[in-house]
């Protein structure tokens, strides 16, 4: 008995090292090409309605910039004087007809101010497109991770079916040999039925997860998924992490773009306070003498009722609001990054533990329980408890690995870099 225990302990030590290296059971190596996460993100970016809307918004703001740079249209003016009066002005004998063109002249830099607002809006639209792309990547990553996690759960469930079938055969042998009561065979049969049902549910969930991913990317998935993605864990972190910074993130860049729009709006409001001129030549025909004379007109509005002060005050208030929101965004982003880094680090620690020592110990305990049960050294309840612990540990390891990948995706979304501006070449 002492030799047997010593052998079991030695086997447990060796299995701990082996299982820590191999990890969870995975599907057999795919024979066809692997459909990677990057390919899924690229396909989803081209078919996502949000991406299409962001692209349309860029096109709209680009056309808006073109409109902002246009000059106001001239006006054709016509006027008839001295008609239907009394005496010498009765009828059309003394009519004077004037026809001319008026050209609006914008003063105060209105056109440049409009273009500045349009440029700021175009930059904001491009940033929004980058934000949408980052959001799409997170969504696709979560669906991709769920799909491969579901496939890993299915492999685990099928492995449990195999183990339950072996346990049922062992129980049948023991019952036929008269070494156990028929109750053990019934328990083993119940465990086999439950394992079959769990495998069926897992297969259905894996199919649904794969269908959800295909629906998001807008095309069927031909190849196998990158099952090994779950096993990619970072090295254990040692020492304090760097403080989170919001500079360079998409969220803060969007707040800066909103502030730039508000600044340009203040400039435009100030420019609109300057009255515009309307000048232009005209020709006047005198009906009484059948003569023609040249006329030059000039007009300027008098800012009595609307002098633009209220518009400037409104623009300044909006600029103050944008500046305050920018400070709030910086604080929120730094807090969110710090929390996401902690979440990802904790998820990595949990995943390393669940898929390493804990899983290895559960696997070795189940192996020893199977050997001992076949040799009559352990009871069936010990075997069932060890198998149940192994199944729960495998599922916990898969969940921990998936949680890490999702946490890493959320962190990547928060720290996604700002794209290089492309509006400069269009201005």
pLDDT in tens, 307-328: 999 999 999 999 999 999 999 9
| CA–CA gap between residue 397 and residue 16 (Å, rounded) | 15
Residue 77 has pLDDT above 70, yes or no: yes
| pLDDT interval class at 16 (50, 70, 90) | very low
State the average pLDDT over residues 72-78.
Answer: 91
pLDDT digits (tens, 9 = 90+) for 358-416: 888 888 888 888 788 777 777 778 878 888 888 888 899 899 999 999 999 999 999 98
Q: By mean pLDDT, which of 156-170, 176-190, 316-330, 342-356 is the weakest?
A: 176-190
| CA–CA gap between residue 335 and residue 329 (Å, rounded) | 10
Beta bridge partners of 293: 284
Tokens 């360079």 -> residue? 248
| CA–CA gap between residue 43 and residue 399 (Å, rounded) | 26
Pick the closest to residue 74 from 103, 47, 34 (CA basis). 103
Q: What is the dihedral sign for C-alpha 139, 142, 148, 150?
A: negative
Out of 14-23, 147-156, 167-176, 238-247, give the one with best mean pLDDT. Answer: 147-156
| Higher per-residue confidence, 6 vs 56 | 56
| pLDDT interval class at 20 (50, 70, 90) | very low
Which pLDDT value is given to residue 135? 93
Q: By mean pLDDT, which of 17-26, 42-51, 312-321 is the weakest?
A: 17-26
Q: What is the DSSP secondary structure assignment for residue 417, as one 8-state letter?
A: B
Which pLDDT value is given to residue 250? 92
Pick the closest to residue 136 from 206, 49, 252, 59 (CA basis). 49
State the average pLDDT over residues 102-109.
Answer: 92
Pick the closest to residue 216 from 148, 151, 143 (CA basis). 143
Residue 101 has pLDDT above 50, yes or no: yes
Pick the closest to residue 259 from 332, 328, 323 (CA basis). 323
Residue 425 has pLDDT above 50, yes or no: no
- 2 by Cβ neighbours in 10 Å (0-12 / 13-18 / 19+) ranks as exposed
Q: What is the DSSP secondary structure assignment for residue 243, as one 8-state letter?
A: P
Which pLDDT value is given to residue 423? 47
| CA–CA gap between residue 263 and residue 257 (Å, rounded) | 10
Share of the chain above pLDDT 90, in %: 45
State the average pLDDT over residues 135-142.
Answer: 93
Q: What is the DSSP secondary structure assignment for residue 249, as one 8-state letter?
A: B
pTM of the predicted model as reported, rounded to 2 decimal places: 0.78
Which pLDDT value is given to residue 370? 79
State the average pLDDT over residues 108-129.
Answer: 94
| pLDDT interval class at 235 (50, 70, 90) | confident
Which pLDDT value is given to residue 6? 37
| pLDDT interval class at 222 (50, 70, 90) | confident
Tokens 């897992």 -> residue? 202
Which pLDDT value is given to residue 13? 37
Pick the closest to residue 276 from 299, 310, 251, 260 (CA basis). 299
Q: By mean pLDDT, which of 131-140, 165-174, 258-267 is the weakest?
A: 165-174
- Strand order from edge to edge, sheet including 75-81: 75-81, 96-105, 277-286, 291-299
Reading the block at residue 230, the tokens are 């779950």
Q: Which CATH superfamily is domain 39-70+131-234+334-426 in?
A: Outer membrane efflux proteins (OEP) (1.20.1600.10)
Helix (H, G, I), strand (E, B) or coil at 128: helix
40-54 b/e (C-beta count within 10 Å ≥ 16 → b): bbebbbeebebbeeb
Angle at 399 between CA 396 and CA 401, to 5 degrees: 110
Report yes or no: 319 and 255 within 8 Å, Cβ to Cβ.
no
Which pLDDT value is given to residue 21? 37
Q: What is the mean pLDDT of the chain?
A: 84
Which pLDDT value is given to residue 57? 94
Residue 11 has pLDDT above 70, yes or no: no
Reading the block at residue 13, the tokens are 């030590």
């Amino acid at each position: 008995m002492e030799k047997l225990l010593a052998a079991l302990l030695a086997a447990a030590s060796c299995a701990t090292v082996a299982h820590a290296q191999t990890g969870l059971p995975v599907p057999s190596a795919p024979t066809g090409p692997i459909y990677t996460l990057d390919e899924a993100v690229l396909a989803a970016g081209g078919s996502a309605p949000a991406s299409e809307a962001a692209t349309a918004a860029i096109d709209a703001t680009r056309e808006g910039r073109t409109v902002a740079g246009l000059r106001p249209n001239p006006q054709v003016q016509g006027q008839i004087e001295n008609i239907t009066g009394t005496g010498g002005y009765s009828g059309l004998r003394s009519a004077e007809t004037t026809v001319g063109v008026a050209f609006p002249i914008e003063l105060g830099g209105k056109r440049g101010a409009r273009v500045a607002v349009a440029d700021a809006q175009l930059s904001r639209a491009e940033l929004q497109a980058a934000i949408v792309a980052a959001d799409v990547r997170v969504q696709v990553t979560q669906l991709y991770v769920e799909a491969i996690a579901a496939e890993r759960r299915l492999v685990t469930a099928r492995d449990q079916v195999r183990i339950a079938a072996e346990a049922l055969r062992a129980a049948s042998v023991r019952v036929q040999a008269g070494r156990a009561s028929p109750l053990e065979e019934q328990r083993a049969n119940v465990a086999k039925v439950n394992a079959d049902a769990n495998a069926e549910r897992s297969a259905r969930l894996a199919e649904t997860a794969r269908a959800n991913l295909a629906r998001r990317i807008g095309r069927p998935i031909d190849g196998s998924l990158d099952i090994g993605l779950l096993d990619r864990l970072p090295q254990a972190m040692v020492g304090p992490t760097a403080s989170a910074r919001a500079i360079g993130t998409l969220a803060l860049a969007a707040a800066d773009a909103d502030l730039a729009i508000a600044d340009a709006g203040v400039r435009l409001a100030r420019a609109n306070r300057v009255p515009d001129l309307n000048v232009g030549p005209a020709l006047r025909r005198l009906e009484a003498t059948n003569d023609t004379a040249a006329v030059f007109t000039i007009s300027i509005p008098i800012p009595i009722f609307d002098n633009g002060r209220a518009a400037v005050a409104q623009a300044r208030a909006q600029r103050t609001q944008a500046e305050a929101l920018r400070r709030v965004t910086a604080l929120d982003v730094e807090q969110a990054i710090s929390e996401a880094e902690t979440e990802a680090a904790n998820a990595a620690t949990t995943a390393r533990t669940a898929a390493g020592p804990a899983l290895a110990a559960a696997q070795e305990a189940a192996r020893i329980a199977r050997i001992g049960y076949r040799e009559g050294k352990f009871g069936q309840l010990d075997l069932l408890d060890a198998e149940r612990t192994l199944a729960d540990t495998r599922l916990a390891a898969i969940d921990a690995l998936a949680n890490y990948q999702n946490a890493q995706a959320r962190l990547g979304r928060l720290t996604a870099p700002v794209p290089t501006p492309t509006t400069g070449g269009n201005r």
